[in-house]
Structure 1
Amino acid sequence: MFEPLKALHWLSVLVVVAVMVGLPLVTQDTYLLHVLVLAMVFGVFASAWNFVTGFAGLKTFGHHAFFALGAYGSALIGINAGISPWVTIWLGGLIAAVAGLLIGLPVLRIRSMPHVAIVTLGFAEIVRITLSNLTEITRGELGLWGIPAFEGFTLPGIGEVSFSPADKMAYYYLALILLLLSMVVITALMRSKTGLSIIAMRDSDDAAESLGINLTRLKLLIFVVSSFLVGVAGAFYAHYISILTPTAVAGLDLMILIIAMVLVGGLSTLTGPLVGALILTILVELLRDLDTFRLLIYGALIIFSVMFLPRGLVTIGEFLPWRRRSADDEGT
């Protein structure tokens, strides 16, 4: 992870980004762009959760609470204060980060990861129940509607950029920018001295502490950064979908979906959560008619990944015959 990227790696990144940037210029199919926008939103969520669990080893199962807080925080500020979504999405991320700090202060002092997982899951359920019961503010399961959309603007040389349900191109590029920014933040942290401390802490708390690493401060930093990224993703989702329900953004099935994305794509990898988000978002759309039975499909995918591809789909190249021959040649 900390090795300098080779020219081939940089070329691969540039090709993928170029394809993503050019895709809406090739096809403007509304449904396709909608699915890709959702894939990128979940890609931010999955990458942020992987940052906490895959890289830092903090087993948290309540990150969907921060997604919901970012979504409802941004939406309610926009509705009641009339502030532009261009501002409120960052405020939504800040609300999620503050919540991450407050829950992280007592929880992350616990050394037992199963207890951390249970407590964070309980916190998420408290958030869901609270959002459901505050009907005068959130309208509960009836749905919070009237969420303002992003205001359009004019780009020199391009023209008018508008955000409307009928035209997904602007939302697509905004989601792509948020995804790239989140990946830059995570990659920068993991390739810094902080990243080395994170890996050391994941491998052994005691060894890392003996080296002078402040575990509480490091865990809080990881938790707050991850919560902020998830909150921003939730805030964007709110202004994109335009209606929110507690079950949709704070339900346990959302967290199960994110876990499946990371495990299928590749836990503890940078690109794995993005691959998993793309595959499972498409799968969700294909299996929409199955309703709650989709959870069985997620479970089967997780079991298959753990049994046959424990490091995810991004490592499937290691099992190809010519890759194995190359590795054997290098060994000799």
Structure 2
Amino acid sequence: MNPITKQNPANLLKDLINSRWLVAAFLILLLIMPFLVPDPYVIHILILAMMYAVLAGSWNFLCGYVGIFSFGHQAFFGIGAYVSALLSMHLGVSPWLGLVIGGMAAAAVSVIIAIPCLRLRAAPYIAIATLGMAEIIRVVAQNLVSLTRGELGLWGIPGFTKFTLPVLGEVNFSGNRTPYYFVMLILFFLITGGISWIVRSPFGLSLKSIRESQDAAESLGVDVAFYKILAFIISSFIAGVVGSFYAHYILILTPSAVLSTGVVVEIITITLVGGLGIIWGPVMGAFVLTFALELLRFLGDYRLLFYGAVLVLVILFLPEGIVRKIFPEKKLV
């Protein structure tokens, strides 16, 4: 008898789910979702889910693949948001260009933070140092009222400018969330695919060797300091791009919304729920938690309490995340 016929149906289903076909099906579903469910509210939730997936993916790249536990990732998200918003408001810089400039600004600041912080090897010290740097940036943004308006909020941020496509005609972002959805979808495709390519490359193998043992990596000729700083820059650039998108989508910024420790708690929770050190871990975590929170909207300001409770439960009962729980015997990257 063919051995395939003896295989447990549950195992066959897991093999199918773990195949590239499911990934392709998921991406196709995201592509057609606005046409299947054109409700603006659902589209908004999907935009947030993809945004958090990419943001958590950038943190996962740093912590899951390099072993750098940053507790200040919100700083790069906030820098990208504020730089892009301020440039578009005061200098008329296009939000499209702001995506790149916001990422570059976050990457530039990350170098300043990385050089002193990454001299520390122990995770607790790195976490405290990066948190301290991020808090300095938050306090500056909060008190520089003449520029950021502090907690009153930076409002009147321009949205993405309309453009014309040969077949589709004019794409207008004013009062329409669907174009924002496809912009975020493109960013999701490009960044998730880019991270996947990086971690499978020789550069990615060097990063993983640093995660496993810095001393062993150095003995093999890996320039640990250079690779860690470069990984920090890549991760921060991605967070800055997402921050820029957030600014031109939500159209209002406050330090507490983009620079508070609550942001990094959400990022870490999303990553751990899905699975640390797995490309699709943050994606799974982002979609699960984003939709779960929408079902629990009555929590209001207790949202951070929900994330804290989820984080504790995951650490206790699901330490490897949802993805590894579903596929415990599969080699996951």
Could you tell me which amino acid in structure 2 is paired with residue 238 of structure 1?
Answer: A
Q: Measure, in 2, the Cα distance between the counterparts of 1:124 and 1:252.
A: 9
CA RMSD of aligned residues (A): 1.7
Q: How many residues align?
A: 315
- Residues 58-82 of structure 1, C-alpha deviation per residue, up to 9 Å, x if partnerless? 0110000000000000000001110
1:155 maps onto 2:161 in alignment: no
**Partner residue in 1 for 2:297:** 288
Which residue of the other structure, out of 96, 111, 115, is the alignment partner of 1:101?
A: 111
Q: 1:250-296 CA distances to partner (integer Å, 9 max, x unpaired)?
A: 11111111111001111111101011111111223333332332223
1:9 to 19, 27, 30: 19
Deviations 1:79-121 (A, max 9, x none): 1110110101110000000001111111112122211110100
Q: 1:328 aligns to what?
A: none
Cα distance between partner residues in 1 of 2:306 and 2:96:
37
Pair 1:169 & 2:178 matched? yes
Which of 65, 83, 93 is the equivalent residue of 1:83?
Answer: 93
Summarize the Cα distance change of 1:43–1:7 in structure 2 as closer, same or farther, 3 Å threshold. Answer: closer
Structure 1 residue 7: Cα displacement: 11
Matched residue, 1:138: 148
Give the whole-Å Cα distance in 1 for the aligned partners of 2:93 and 2:302.
40
Aligned twin of 1:253: 262
One-letter identity of the residue aligned with 1:119: A
Map of 1:47 onto structure 2: 57
TM-score by length of 2: 0.91
The residue aligned with 1:330 is none
Q: 1:193 aligns with which of 202, 205, 209?
A: 202
Over residues 179-232 of structure 1, what are the superposed CA-to-partner deviations in whole Å (9 max), with x where a residue is unaligned? 111112211110111111111110111111111110100000100000000000
Q: Secondary structure at the match of 1:160?
A: strand
Give the counterpart of 1:263 among 264, 272, 277.
272
2:34 maps to 1:24 = yes
The DSSP-based 3-state class of the residue aligned with 2:159 is coil
- Supply the distance in 1 between the matched residues of 2:201 and 2:71 (Cα, whole angstroms): 26
Distance 2:309 2:89 in 1: 41
Letter in 1 for 2:152: L
2:11 paired residue number: none
2:283 alignment partner, one of 269, 274, 277: 274
Rounded to whole Å, the distance in 2 between the matches of 1:8 and 1:288 is: 32
| Segment of structure 1 superposing worse, 229-238 or 304-313 | 304-313
- 1:214 aligned to 214, 217, 223, which one? 223
Percent identity between matched residues is 46
- Which runs of 5 or more structure 2 residues have no equivalent in the other structure? 1-15
TM (normalized to structure 1)? 0.91
Question: Which amino acid in structure 2 is aligned with residue 243 of structure 1?
Answer: I
What is the distance in 1 between the residues matched to 2:271 and 2:172? 33
- Distance in 2, Cα, partners of 1:99 & 1:46: 19
Q: Distance in 2 between matches of 1:124 and 1:67?
A: 10
Instruction: Tell me which residue corresponds to 1:3.
Output: none
Match of 1:223 in 2: 232
Which runs of structure 1 show a deviation greater than 3 angstroms over 4 or more consecutive aligned residues?
A: none
* Offset, 1:8: 6.7
Offset of residue 308 of structure 1: 2.1
Deviations along 1:98-152, one digit per CA (max 9) or x if unpaired, are 0011111111121222111101001111111110101000010000011111111
Match of 1:113 among 119, 123, 148: 123
**SS class of match (2:160):** coil
